Amino acid sequence: MTQSDISLAPPPELHEALRQMLAVLECERQALAGLDLDAIVGVTQAKDRLCGTLDSAGIIELDEECRGMLETARRLNEVNRQVRNIIAANVAKRLDVLTGTSRLYRAGASYTLAGAAIVTGRG
């Protein structure tokens, strides 16, 4: 096999999978904003399926369009992760209010140990 036998262009399936991933990430943002559990479950399944498709592409040379879509997908996924974290924090806060407890300064033992190692310069 020579260099000319290797296609440097990504397969059309990769372009399509990335386009679908962008659409799914947009749907996820809307589902999170609306707290639509059915839609959240649906987009989670779609993301999992698309990740499998992207995994099967392996490591290939990406064109400018693919690199742009990948960067956009990373950015959207990060925004959605932050939204999920905010929602989870709000739920935890409401549950704490209902139970009359506060988790503000109660860290788990492993977190405390990791923090102590950082503060003391060990680890």
Over the stretch 20-57, which tens digit does the pLDDT of each residue have?
A: 999 999 999 999 999 999 999 999 999 999 999 998 88
Task: Assess contact for 57 and 1: CB atoms under 8 A.
Answer: no
Q: Is position 91 within any domain? A: no
What lies within 8 Å, CB to CB, of 115 at 6+ separation is 107
The per-residue pLDDT for 114 is 43
Q: Which domain holds residue 51?
A: 3-86
The per-residue pLDDT for 107 is 52
Q: Is position 81 within any domain? A: yes
Three-class SS of residue 107? coil
Q: Is position 106 within any domain? A: no
Q: Is position 103 within any domain? A: no
Q: Is position 114 within any domain? A: no
The DSSP letter of residue 61 is -
**CA 90, 95, 100, 105 torsion: positive or negative?**
negative
Q: Is position 95 within any domain? A: no
What count of other Cβ atoms lies within 10 Å of the Cβ of residue 88?
10
Q: Is position 119 within any domain? A: no
pLDDT-based confidence at 5, cuts 50/70/90?
very low
Number of domains in the chain: 1
Q: Is position 110 within any domain? A: no
3-state secondary structure 44-66: HHHHHHHHHHHHHCCCCCCCHHH
Residue 3 and residue 59: Cα distance in Å, rounded?
A: 16
